[in-house]
Amino acid sequence: MTPPPTPPEAPLGVFDSGVGGLSVLAELRRALPGQDFLYLADTAHVPIGGRPDEEIRYLTDRAVSALHARGAGGVVVACNTASAFSLTHLRERYGPDFPVIGLVPAVKPAVAATRTGVVGVLATPGTLRGTLLKDVIERFAHPAGVRVLTAVSAELVPLVEAGQAGGERARAVLREVLTPLAGAGADQLVLGCTHYPFLAPSIRAEFGDTFALVDSGAAVARHTRNVLSASGRLREGTGGGHVTYLVTGDPAAARPVIALLMGEDGHNVTVQQVTT
C-alpha cells in the first residue's frame, strides 16, 4: 500500500551505507539552508558494494522505511551503489507523494568537459557491477566518441569511514588505481561514490591538476530543490536547518568521523543509534 502524503514541513531523509553521503548532505544544506534533514548511515553494514544484489536492495529498503517511519517527507539515496540497485523498487513502493531521489554517476558533464577524449571513473565494486554506470556510459560517452576507463578499489570506502581519507594508505591506493588512467590521458575523473569527494585532497596531492574531479553532489542538490519546489514541499529560508544524525552501528565511533568530514566541532554533533 502506498504510504500517505507527508506534510511540507517534514524533514528530508538522506541515506548512505556510511558517511560518504555526507558529501551530498553538504551540497543539500547549501541548496536548502532552511531544510531539516534526517541523515541515516547504515554503518553496521558498510561497505555494501561487495554484497549480493538482493541484499543491497534489502538494506536500502530497510533504511528508507526507517526514515519514512521517523517522519521524513522524501529521501535522497546518497549512495551510488544503493541507487544503482534500488531506485525503481523504492519509487514503485512509495509513489509520487514520497519523492525518492537517487544518484547518477556524473559521466555526462565529464564527457562534455574532456579535451583529451578520455574520461576516468573511480568506482566501487558494486557500482561497477550494476547497470546504471554502464547505461550512462552508453548514453553519453559512446555517441560522443569518448573513451571511458574505470578504476575500482574495495579499500577506499573503509578508509574514509575510518577518518583516514588523507592518510598515507589512501594515497597509496589512489596512486595504484589512478596511475593507469593518468597514463592513458584521462583529464576528467568521475567520483563514482559519495565517499570519494572526501579523497579529493589526496587525489590532488598525488596527481596535481591531471584530473578535473567531477561528482554528482551539486547536481543532486539542485534537482532535489526543484522536486521539493514542484511538489510544494520546499522550506524557504536562508538558514536554521537542522540535521539529525542516525547510525545503525556504534554512534561513539561515528561521531568524530562525522564531525571531521562536516567540519564541525565534535561536541556539537549528536549521533543516535537506530535499528532498521
Which CATH number do you get for residue 17? 3.40.50.1860
pLDDT score of 7 = 60
Which of 192, 215, 238 is the C-terminal boundary of a domain? 215
* Whether residue 4 has pLDDT greater than 70: no
pLDDT score of 121 = 97
129 plus 260 within the same structural domain: no
H helices of 75-197, where?
Answer: 80-94, 107-113, 125-129, 131-136, 142-144, 156-161, 168-183
Q: Which residues are annotated as a binding site?
A: 16-17, 80-81, 194-195
120 plus 131 within the same structural domain: yes
92 plus 228 within the same structural domain: yes
Cα-based torsion angle of the residue sequence 201, 206, 212, 213 in order, rounded to the nearest 10 degrees: -40
190 plus 223 within the same structural domain: no
CB under 8 A, 24+ apart: contacts of 24-29: 24/76, 24/78, 24/103, 24/194, 24/216, 24/217, 24/220, 24/221, 25/78, 25/243, 25/262, 26/217, 26/262, 27/217, 27/218, 27/220, 27/221, 28/76, 28/220, 28/221, 28/224, 29/241, 29/243
Structural domains counted in the chain: 2
16 plus 93 within the same structural domain: yes
Residue 7 lies in a domain: no
d(CA 201, CA 185): 21
Residue 2 lies in a domain: no
| The residue type at 112 | A
pLDDT score of 8 = 60
235 plus 155 within the same structural domain: no
* Whether residue 162 has pLDDT greater than 70: yes
Q: pTM of the predicted model, to two decimals? A: 0.90
Residue 3 lies in a domain: no
38: cell is 534526517
Q: Which residues are annotated as a binding site for substrate?
A: 16-17, 80-81, 194-195
Q: Cα dist. 249→12, 17, 227, 256 in Å?
A: 21, 11, 31, 14
Pairing of strands 243-247, 12-16: unpaired
168 plus 190 within the same structural domain: yes
pLDDT score of 231 = 84
pLDDT in tens, 64-103: 999 999 999 999 999 988 998 899 999 999 988 899 999 9
182 plus 57 within the same structural domain: no
156 plus 223 within the same structural domain: no
pLDDT in tens, 200-244: 999 999 999 999 999 999 999 999 999 998 888 887 777 678 999
pLDDT score of 6 = 55
Mean pLDDT of 181-195: 97
pLDDT score of 226 = 94
pLDDT in tens, 233-275: 887 777 678 999 999 999 999 999 999 999 887 677 899 999 8
202 plus 137 within the same structural domain: yes
Residue 252 lies in a domain: yes
Residue 205's Cβ-count burial label (10 Å; 0-12, 13-18, 19+) is exposed
Which of 166, 188, 215 is the C-terminal boundary of a domain? 215
139 plus 96 within the same structural domain: no
Q: In which domain, by residue range, is 174 found? A: 107-215
d(CA 128, CA 81): 9
Which residues are known to be catalytic?
A: 79, 193
Which of 215, 243, 264 is the C-terminal boundary of a domain? 215
Residue 135 lies in a domain: yes
Residue 156 lies in a domain: yes
pLDDT in tens, 7-63: 667 899 999 999 999 999 999 999 999 999 999 999 999 888 788 889 999 999 999
48 plus 91 within the same structural domain: yes
Mean pLDDT of 171-175: 98
